[in-house]
Amino acid sequence: MLIETVEALIMRLLMLSKGQLISYPREAQKLSNITWPGGEVEKPRGWVIATTEKPLIIGFPKRVGFSEFATDLNYNHSAQGYCIDLFDEVRKLVPYEIPFRFEPFGDGLKNPNYDELVRLVADGVFDAAVGDIAITTNRIKLVDFTQPFCATGLVVVAPIVNSTSSGWVFVKPFTLEMWFSFSTLFKANYENPISTLGRIVMVVWLFLLLVITSSYTASLSSILTVQQLSTCITGIDSLISSGLPVGYQEGSFAYSYLKNNLNIHASRLISLGSLEEYESALRRGPKNGGVAAIVDETPYVELFLSTQTDFGILGLPFTRSAWGFAFRKDSPLAGDMSTAILKLTESGQLQKIKKKWFCKSGCSDERGRKPEPKQLNLSSFWALYSLCGTFALMAFFLFLIRAIRQYIRYKSRQMDPSSPTSSISSSILFSQAIHNFLKFIDEKEEAIKKMFAQPAIPPTQARA
């Protein structure tokens, strides 16, 4: 038997050496489907995606402050937050199953360092990282990011006080000595100068009036502008040059950007970790151990300002960035997840997830409170209106008293003591007196003076 097998093998070798083909039975030519490692029947694309036995290890930041974005849930390898819900919805749009397991990153005492989280993905400790992870130049070198799901940028937040102007603000441009020359502002030229020297004097005088009036206007404008500013910070440039302490969110890339890119000394940078610390530091101010302003990304700032009315964004964002999910280099999941994020954005589901977490008490289209333009209202001039009203009433009462005295004098000169009045009722007399008094007031001032200039008419002549 063995000899026959050897002989058959030798014959086949000889036939191959002569170029003859060997035919096999049809049953022997049927091949089974290829099964790849992990039990998958589809050809892998150069990168082994997770299996049920070996799921993806996805790290997420175990935040302490701003936990609405991502945080640990009951210490059981589960997570919650805006970024977590977004990842779950995106994962549903990927055309294959992705077995995974969440792994929190952080000690739960402070916000974790996001640069370290990205580095762990690059080193293979995590297969991916999900959270509010900013896409920066240094991080792109280590990992692959998905399509951004949230646009962001660094902004400056500082106290804002839009106080109404004082009712006596119009008095402040001039000192007491200048107000003694108040009449100069309204000095009118009633005489035309005849000589050349007189014209020169008049020109100089009018120029003085122009300077005083313009100076008053400029000084009042400056006072109204200063009243609405509670800080010298107007943006990132003034913040850099101020030398005042600056707050930043611990764990974010804002620290390295402020220090390395904007050359702000590390001694000026103060780490803050929660909304409460933000508010406390801004209210204390630099004189009481606080900060003059806080530099942070717009999503955190919008969340902070949604519950605050005394703070606002100063200036425009001075960086442009975005958030994305981080995957290891050459991972096919990065591209598939990016496609799913675009589908989620186009369907409007992305905005719904944002409203779920950040619009529980209503949302506004405004990105935080900004300094309101200074507008002058009635309360800004209550003192001036009061003065005008007081002088007007005083003038009216003085005129009324003077008119009554003049009318009494006038009637006493014209009255005939012997004329009978008993037959006329008191009401008719009162109405006639009022009518005559109003008619007397309508007379011109010159006519009244002429009345008193004429000699009184004796009663006998009046009867004649």
Looking at the domain assignment, is residue 8 inside a domain? no
If 0-12 CB within 10 Å is exposed, 13-18 middle and 19+ buried, where does residue 315 land? Answer: middle
CA distance 402 to 410: 12
pTM of the model: 0.60
Q: Which of 322, 279, 368, 37 is nearest to 153 (CA)?
A: 322
Same domain, 190 and 96: no
Answer yes or no: do 102 and 174 share one domain. no
- Choosing from 342, 367, 392, the residue where a domain stops is 367
Cα 292 to chain centroid distance, Å, stands at 17
Q: Do residues 363 and 394 both lie within one domain?
A: no
pLDDT for 248 equals 95
The answer to the question of residue 265 being in a domain is no
Is 429 part of a structural domain of the chain?
Answer: yes
Contact 233, 314 (CB under 8 A): yes
Q: Which of 357, 361, 250 has its CA nearest to residue 295?
A: 250
Among positive and negative, which fits the CA dihedral 61, 62, 64, 67? positive
Tokens of 321: 């960035």
Distance (Å, whole) CA 29 – CA 15: 20
Say how far apart CA 211 and CA 437 lie, in whole Å: 49
Q: Is residue 430 part of a domain?
A: yes
The partner residues of 59 in beta bridges, in order of sequence, read 103, 129
Residue 336 lies in a domain: yes
Q: How many domains does the chain have?
A: 3
Residues 395 and 459 in one domain: yes
The answer to whether residues 55 and 112 belong to one domain is yes
In terms of residues, how long is the chain?
A: 464
Q: Give start and end residues of each alpha helix (H) in 376-463.
A: 382-414, 426-442, 445-453, 459-463
Same domain, 134 and 71: yes
Residues 193 and 127 in one domain: no
| C-alpha span between 331 and 443 (Å, rounded) | 101
CB environment 76-87: b (16+ within 10 A), e (fewer): eeebbbbbbbbb
Indicate whether 385 and 457 sit together in one domain: yes
| Distance between CA atoms of residues 405 and 153, nearest Å | 78
The pLDDT assigned to 328 comes to: 93
Say yes or no: 147 and 52 in one domain: yes
Question: How do 71-72 and 79-80 pair as beta strands?
Answer: antiparallel
Q: Are 362 and 355 a contacting pair, CB within 8 Å? A: no
Residues 142 and 53 in one domain: yes
In a domain, 164, yes or no: no
- Residue 108: give the domain boundaries: 48-151+322-367
Instruction: Answer for the pair 228, 202: CB distance below 8 angstroms, yes or no.
Output: no
Q: Residues 6 or more apart from 394 whose CB is under 8 A from it? A: none
CATH number, residue 146: 3.40.190.10
Q: Which of 309, 335, 367 is the last residue of a domain?
A: 367
Strand partners, 403: none
Tell me if 440 is assigned to some domain: yes
In this structure, what token pair is assigned to residue 410?
A: 């006038």
Q: Is residue 438 part of a domain?
A: yes
Of 227, 252, 271, the residue that ends a domain is 227
- Give me the pLDDT at residue 462, please: 45
How many helices (H) and strands (E) would you count in the chain?
17, 14
Please report the pLDDT score of residue 174 as a whole number: 75
Same domain, 209 and 139: no
Measured CA to CA, the distance from residue 431 to residue 434 in angstroms comes to: 5
| Residue 422 and residue 362 share a domain | no
- How many other β-carbons are positioned within 10 Å of the β-carbon of residue 143? 25
The pLDDT score that the predictor gives to residue 74 is 67
User: What pLDDT tens digit does each residue of the chain (464 aa) get?
Assistant: 545 555 655 666 555 555 554 555 555 555 567 666 556 666 655 555 777 788 999 999 998 888 889 988 766 667 889 999 999 999 999 988 889 999 999 888 888 999 999 999 999 999 999 999 999 999 999 999 999 999 999 999 998 765 555 667 777 777 776 777 666 556 555 567 666 776 777 777 777 777 777 877 888 777 766 555 556 788 899 899 989 999 999 988 899 999 999 999 999 999 998 899 999 999 999 989 999 999 999 999 999 988 888 888 888 899 998 999 999 998 889 999 999 999 999 999 988 998 888 876 555 544 445 555 455 556 656 776 677 778 778 877 887 888 777 777 777 766 655 555 555 566 666 677 777 777 776 665 556 666 656 555 554 544 44
